[in-house]
Amino acid sequence: MVSQDFIGATTFLAARPIESGIPAITLPNFTSGSVALPSNVTTQTLLPGEFRRGYIHSFNFTIEKQLPFRLIGSAGYVATRTKNQMTSINMNAAEPGAGQAGRPLSARFGRRVDLTVIRPFQTGDYDSLQARLDRRVARGWSTMVAYTFSKTFTWADDSAGGLFLNAPSQLTRNRARANYDRPHNFRWAWIYEAPSRVGGNLVTRAALSGWQVADIFSAYSGTPFSVTAASTSLNAPGNNQTADQVKSNVQRIGAIGRATPYYDPTAFIPVTAVRFGNTGRNILRGPGMVNADASLSRNFSLTDRLRMQFRADAFNFTNTPKFNNPASNVSGAGFMTITSALSTSGSVEGGERSIRFALRFNF
């Protein structure tokens, strides 16, 4: 695909009148059978030569036992190993102090821009203890409690994600907790269905019988983040810069808002020397989350064939806010403060309380 932009002399002027038509697009010269990539154009490509696609080992061991009070308990070790995980590596990243001229492909090809290669690289590890307790339906009530304690280590976040540090001397520093690692994950779900016939007078029986109430409560850890810094003194294009940690323990203050930070900001300082910071990738963790969803429903028999179901669902029933990670650039404004909530996009757990009513007819 070849694209070209046509820009006017100022932001108030068009490139040319519409009646003049679209200007001719400059196409590459294909006469030689190949096209040389311009030295100032970035590109992303697959690893040349034999491409050995990665694979995943998955293994688990679980013990399950019947317990008193209609309970079933289970506990297990669940793990995966992602061998040769797909990773995007900038092959034209410079070492500290080398600058644009120090990029590996600068001297030989004059390329002073990023060259990203997608290739199998290293291993992603996931290990977890998963425990669960279930109570079978009895007298209209059942419940399930689940807890997972886990650790996830990767070299890059997400499928084909990019490395945080691309300089060859720093590759080993990329292995750290994944940005989606949540060590503690607790879920409690229960459902209660009132008897179809309850005691009392006719009005009481009609009002209370047949209702079903359910709830899902979730509580889990926040996600990790890196503490970054300005990379001016680093002068290593193609890399990220981390801050220097100057206190052995980083105090978690836990505040939300502009007035007070979530972590102690004085525990970090910018780097002013020609080197990487002494902190690594994803060293701190943002705020955890708590969420409760509730449901109320009942089935009505209107005739022998016509039935109606009423349902009310409340997402984030307690209207508990969920917050983003704090600002993590020590060289930027508002360092270590949290001033935004999670977006509602893609997850009802990220937004405010939402209540939905529905009627369903079966005939």
Per-residue pLDDT reduced to its tens digit, 144-176? 999 999 999 999 988 789 999 999 999 999 999
The answer to whether residue 6 sits within a structural domain is no
The answer to whether residue 158 sits within a structural domain is yes
Buried b (16+ CB within 10 A) or exposed e, 143-171: bebbbbebebebbbbeeebbbbbbbeebe
CA distance 260 to 321: 18
The answer to whether residue 350 sits within a structural domain is yes
Res 346: pLDDT: 46
Has residue 243 got a pLDDT over 70?
yes
- Which DSSP category does 114 fall into? -
Q: Which whole number is the average pLDDT over 305-310?
A: 90
Per-residue pLDDT reduced to its tens digit, 113-145? 999 999 999 999 999 999 999 998 777 889 999
Question: Which range is least confidently modeled, 24-28, 203-207, 285-289?
Answer: 203-207
Domain of 279 in residue numbering reads as 18-30+44-362
Between 109 and 27, name the one with better pLDDT.
109
Q: Which whole number is the average pLDDT over 338-346?
A: 75
Q: Which whole number is the average pLDDT over 285-294?
A: 95
Q: Which whole number is the average pLDDT over 347-360?
A: 79
Q: Which whole number is the average pLDDT over 100-125?
A: 93
Q: In sequence order, what are the residues at sequence separation of 6 or more whose Cβ sits closer than 8 angstroms to the Cβ of residue 343?
A: 350, 351
Has residue 272 got a pLDDT over 80?
yes
Per-residue pLDDT reduced to its tens digit, 167-211? 999 999 999 999 999 999 999 999 998 876 655 555 566 666 778
Task: Kindly state the tokens that stand for 73.
Answer: 């308990």
Per-residue pLDDT reduced to its tens digit, 291-305? 999 999 998 888 888
pLDDT > 90 in the chain, percent? 66
Do strands 184-193 and 141-154 pair parallel, antiparallel, or not at all (unpaired)?
Answer: antiparallel
Question: Which range is least confidently modeled, 44-53, 105-114, 185-194, 209-218?
Answer: 44-53
The answer to whether residue 341 sits within a structural domain is yes
Q: Which whole number is the average pLDDT over 251-256?
A: 95
Res 204: pLDDT: 60
The answer to whether residue 1 sits within a structural domain is no
The answer to whether residue 35 sits within a structural domain is no
Res 351: pLDDT: 76
The answer to whether residue 146 sits within a structural domain is yes
The answer to whether residue 11 sits within a structural domain is no
Q: Which of 273, 276, 236 is nearest to 104 (CA)?
A: 236
- CA dihedral 333→338→340→343, nearest 10 degrees, is 120
Q: In sequence order, what are the residues at sequence separation of 6 or more whose Cβ sits closer than 8 angstroms to the Cβ of residue 270?
A: 229, 230, 243, 244, 330, 331
Q: Which of 193, 190, 183 is nearest to 220 (CA)?
A: 183
Confidence tier at 348 by pLDDT (50, 70, 90): very low
Total domain count for the chain? 1
Could you tell me how many helices (H) and strands (E) the chain has, helices first? 2, 18
